[in-house]
Structure 1
Amino acid sequence: MRISTRIIAIGASALVATLGLASCSGGGSGGNGSGGGTATEANKPAKLTVAAWMDFPPELIQSFEKKYGIKVVVNKYPDGASAQTVVRNGLSSNGSGLSDVHLIELDSWTETMSVPSDWVTLPAVPDRWVDWKVTQGSVDGKIKGYGTDIGPLGIAYNQDMLSAAGVATDEASFSTFIGGDDATWQSFLDAGRQYVAHSDNYFIDSLSSAFQAAINLLPAAFEDPKSGKPYDMADNAEIKKLFMMFADAAQDHISAGIPIGNADWGAGFQNKKWATVVTPAWMSGIIASNADGVSGWRVSSTFPEGGGNWGGSFFAVPATGKHTAWAVKLADYLTSSDAAIQWFHKNGQFPSQTDAIKSPDIADTKSDFFGGQQLGKIYGDLAAKAGDSAAGGFRGKNFAGIQKLATNGISLVESGAATPQQAWDKVVSDFNALGFDTAKK
């Protein structure tokens, strides 16, 4: 089998601001966010709605419809941020405009679940997912979301461009070039400096995106896990050190400053503007679509700091829905191991389901675009190397908004609008303007 190269929308977009959500009154057959009742012929609806931002495998929807005699309507949004706006507005207006099932991004999860009773508690499905995915999708020990994909981190690189610059000719030499088994963000950025010294194009598409990936590896980047309060940005030495590392590299012009989601991102691939991209598994299909016709792209099995995770989502059921018992059944159906394999072949999403991860149907699949590489095996190995760190660090309700402030600071340096110190000062100033009750780190 071959991986589809159809484009999918951004799998992990940061929100500009995160706000506390007003509680909905529990409604429908689920009531008060507990359980989902029992799905019976007597309460079977004519249709169910599911909100998401990526393409659904048509066979998956059709098989549910055939098995249960219920029409499934997909309410599709352009990206995760747009979908989250609908959720936010719905939760603040007693469920108005919400679908029966919603896909929720990891970065929006804590904000969305700030009032757990707004969401149906889902039955446990033993041994379906990797343990940390279940933990991510739970609130106070109750499962609120069934896991879809995870985003083990890799580096996509163009071996033709790297070879032309005389720095790496194949996967082994690229791995060595960025630091090998001991690769760090510093060794990766230093490799970028070496590349641009021998090339007329950039080393990477965006350092703001790479910085976001680095943030995801930290155990508690912006907020205190005990209190949930944001750390005072001015005193956040860990983030400042990481910020200045990436900002210095941005000032050395190793980046084009064009992240995924930018209107010029696709053209950048076609114009061979950069040689590497930090690529969580869900992004591989997006790259294949945007770089269609451009040869030489591969995915490295080496990642700085041992690897980690960026992104991943959950299907959750609003408690105000009229058909929560059947919505739970749909969420379960969409996240089975068989479904996960279909999602992988449709969009390149790497599964969180243990049987799917081990399936030869994923591990042995070759990608025409990536030179016949078995991406399922590569990303599976990257996830295994990352271990528990793949779960990522603590994400409180303000994580996404604060992260956006920080990555915007890197973008300022990339554009030439600020020095690293000026950019950091603006990040601190913008953070202070939000008026948080802060914690000391």
Structure 2
Amino acid sequence: MRFSKRAAAVAATATLTTLALASCSGGGGGGGGGEEATDENKPEKLTVAAWMDFPPELLASFEEEYGIEVVVNSFPDGASAQTVLRNGLSSEGAGLSDVHLVELDWWTEMMAVPEDWVELPEIPDRWVDWKVTQGSVDGVITGYGTDIGPLGIAFNQDMTGTAGVAADPESFGEFIGGDAATWESFLDAGREYVAVSDNFFIDSLSSAFQAAINLLPDAFEDPESGKPYNLADNAAIEELFMTFAEAAEDGISAGIPIGHADWGAGFQNRQWATVVTPAWMAGIIAENADGIPGWRVSSTFPDGGGNWGGSFFAVPSTGENTGWAVELADYLTSPDAAVQWFHTTGQFPSQLEAIENPDIAETENEFFGGQRLGQIYGDLAAAAGDAAAGGYRGENFAGIQTLVTDGIRLVESGSATPQEAWDSVVSDFEALGFDTAG
């Protein structure tokens, strides 16, 4: 299976719990708990911990600009990076790099002790507002944003056209509900599709369910206390779970999410017609569906759209080079860097200037039939508005999310009915012994 590092990272963190440049950086200096970057304290090298490929000129340009070598401590996936970071934070910084890439899904856990991180200077008007909010703790910026994952739906218009339900992006948007699209209308479209087709509507409902969870304001935990809600009494999650589980029972899903060993083969075998596709996944689909024509991205998304994924560069306060580490984090997240990352890895930028850059907005994607994906995902991000920030994510968000998405997989595999799967999820949750809210 052709599967990039970024894909493996997102898949792994989702299971456990998943952009240089010619200009000088805009922030400069260290924040609270950090030193100033000066010629006197300039190190020979800086280290950055990450699990994704860097644009070829990115680190070389920083070294040329400042005379500091940048060494990437590369991890095979986000889960490995998370483990090393967690261990380092619990042992006074042992083994940590100067700069760490932190995934949104485990951001709250890593930031549980704000003093572990350098306060980063504000850089006005660089990012979409909600990205800055996500990267802050109690109003203090501790992470500079890299990518965002505005949500879209990739679909194969050849498959939907053959089925007689939609022949192009406009008709597909209407098929799943148009401007009033909801998850219910999307899943009902799936039922209609499988009734007239010999393949599945979607690769995995567990992935779609995760996207739906991201749109809830406080899916699993109380924002005031941080404590998990009692899952047995969580009516919003139970209702959403049953909506997706019943669609799984109706057989609209192949039950093969990104990260599964058969995901790439599923594209090659034309096993499904749609995939919930945050911006970072478009390039991964193009890689895995290489040679299979007809794939497009719809500008319509259920419930108005949202965000899945995204990361931040943050600076541990125990580092010996915090001032220069802040300079590096700033440099890695400039608009120019974001454009380079978009073309290298397909990551969609959170930087306003980069989103509007014609090099992103007007670039035609050959695999997706010449669609301007930068413009499509930019419009999807704008349409989502504040919802793109996602809901509250406490320290236990990722783990509880894993429990409930695994319940959808039980139904997809035929191992349980929707009610049996929900009961199993609740039982597993109760076995964890949380001190719950209320």
Name the TM tier (shorter chain).
over 0.9
Identity %, equivalent residues: 76
The one-character-per-residue Cα deviations of 1:237-265 (angstroms, maximum 9, x if unpaired) are 00000000000000111111111111111
Give 1:14's aligned residue: 14
> Is the Cα–Cα contact under 8 Å of residues 156 and 278 in structure 1 kept in the other structure?
yes
Give 1:325's aligned residue: 323
Gaps of 5+ in 1: 18-28
> Is the Cα–Cα contact under 8 Å of residues 204 and 257 in structure 2 kept in the other structure?
yes
> Is the Cα–Cα contact under 8 Å of residues 7 and 289 in structure 1 kept in the other structure?
no
Give 1:411's aligned residue: 409
CA distance in 2, matches of 1:409, 1:312: 25
Gaps of 5+ in 2: 18-28
| 1:105 matched to 2:97 | no
- Identify the match of residue 315 of structure 1 among 310, 313, 316: 313
> Is the Cα–Cα contact under 8 Å of residues 7 and 347 in structure 1 kept in the other structure?
no
The one-character-per-residue Cα deviations of 1:223-244 (angstroms, maximum 9, x if unpaired) are 0111111000000000000000
Give 2:430's aligned residue: 432
Give 1:39 shift: 1.1
DSSP-derived class of the 1:14 partner: helix
Alignment of 1:145-224 (within 5 A): 145-224=143-222
CA distance in 2, matches of 1:283, 1:110: 23
> Is the Cα–Cα contact under 8 Å of residues 156 and 296 in structure 2 kept in the other structure?
yes
> Is the Cα–Cα contact under 8 Å of residues 5 and 51 in structure 2 kept in the other structure?
no
Give 2:128's aligned residue: 130
Give 1:98 shift: 1.2
CA distance in 1, matches of 2:121, 2:366: 39
DSSP-derived class of the 2:7 partner: coil
> Is the Cα–Cα contact under 8 Å of residues 5 and 76 in structure 2 kept in the other structure?
no
Give 1:199 shift: 1.3
CA distance in 1, matches of 2:64, 2:16: 41
Give 1:248's aligned residue: 246
CA distance in 1, matches of 2:349, 2:343: 11
Give 1:283 shift: 0.7
CA distance in 2, matches of 1:240, 1:65: 52
> Is the Cα–Cα contact under 8 Å of residues 297 and 368 in structure 2 kept in the other structure?
yes
CA distance in 2, matches of 1:375, 1:16: 29
> Is the Cα–Cα contact under 8 Å of residues 152 and 297 in structure 2 kept in the other structure?
yes
Give 1:55's aligned residue: 53
Give 1:36 shift: 2.2
CA distance in 2, matches of 1:120, 1:179: 46
TM-score normalised over the length of structure 2: 0.94
Alignment of 1:320-399 (within 5 A): 320-399=318-397
- Point out 4+ residue stretches in structure 1 off by more than 2 angstroms: 5-17, 33-36
Alignment of 1:252-291 (within 5 A): 252-291=250-289
CA distance in 2, matches of 1:9, 1:210: 16
User: Which deviates the most, 157-166 or 229-238?
Assistant: 157-166
DSSP-derived class of the 2:243 partner: helix
Q: Aligned-residue CA RMSD in angstroms?
A: 1.5
Give 1:15 shift: 5.5
The one-character-per-residue Cα deviations of 1:367-398 (angstroms, maximum 9, x if unpaired) are 11111100000000001111111111000111
DSSP-derived class of the 1:370 partner: coil
Give 1:76 shift: 1.7
DSSP-derived class of the 2:193 partner: helix
> Is the Cα–Cα contact under 8 Å of residues 136 and 391 in structure 1 kept in the other structure?
yes
Letter in 1 for 2:365: S
DSSP-derived class of the 1:48 partner: strand
> Is the Cα–Cα contact under 8 Å of residues 403 and 425 in structure 2 kept in the other structure?
yes
Give 1:366 shift: 0.8
- Identify the match of residue 232 of structure 2 among 216, 231, 234: 234
DSSP-derived class of the 2:415 partner: coil
